[in-house]
């Protein structure tokens, strides 16, 4: 589970990741067929993550919760491998309900790599 300091919880914090001010504040978006990923620099020394899985994905709460659990697990695992100082938002689309954990993880890692916030692995 993500620590409380690494979660986006307030409505105003979510609203900052939408609208015209998002691009003005230096925000970037990346989308796949199953997810829309948004990243916004923040003024803190921690990363914060938010997840939106609406009823358009599936009417059943169990399916929506499974998608959120997968996303939380992936980003929790990568918490120490990501550069600090960003707010991340993941908005799930309908195809995300049918994806396996490995496929979701691949899309999330592709996003982090494309946005150049993933630290290189030290071998």
Q: Hey, how many other C-beta atoms are within 10 angstroms of the C-beta on 75? A: 20
Question: What is the per-residue pLDDT for 121?
Answer: 67
pLDDT, tens only, 77-101: 999 999 999 999 999 999 999 999 9
Mean residue pLDDT of the chain comes to 92
Tokens, residue 31: 């989308």
Longest dimension (CA), the chain: 44
Confidence at 20, pLDDT banded by 50, 70, 90: confident
Whether the per-residue pLDDT at 63 is higher than 70: the answer is yes
How does DSSP classify residue 115? T
The yes/no answer on whether domain 4-114 falls in CATH 2.60.40.1180 is no
Distance CA 25, CA 66 (A): 32
Over residues 66-83, the mean pLDDT reads 94
Please state, for a pLDDT cut of 90, what percent of the chain lies above it: 79
Confidence at 122, pLDDT banded by 50, 70, 90: very low
List the chain domain ranges. Answer: 4-114
């Amino acid at each position: 589970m993500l620590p409380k300091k690494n979660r986006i919880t307030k409505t105003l914090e979510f609203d900052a990741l939408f609208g015209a001010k998002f691009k003005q504040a230096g925000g970037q978006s990346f989308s796949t067929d199953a997810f829309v990923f948004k990243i916004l620099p923040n003024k803190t020394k921690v990363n914060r993550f938010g997840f939106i899985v609406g009823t358009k994905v599936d009417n059943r709460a169990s399916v929506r919760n499974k998608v959120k659990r997968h996303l939380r697990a992936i980003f929790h695992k990568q918490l120490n491998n990501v550069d600090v100082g960003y707010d991340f938002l993941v908005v799930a689309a309908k195809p995300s309900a049918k994806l396996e954990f490995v496929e979701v993880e691949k899309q999330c890692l592709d996003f982090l790599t494309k946005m150049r916030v993933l630290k290189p692995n030290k071998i």
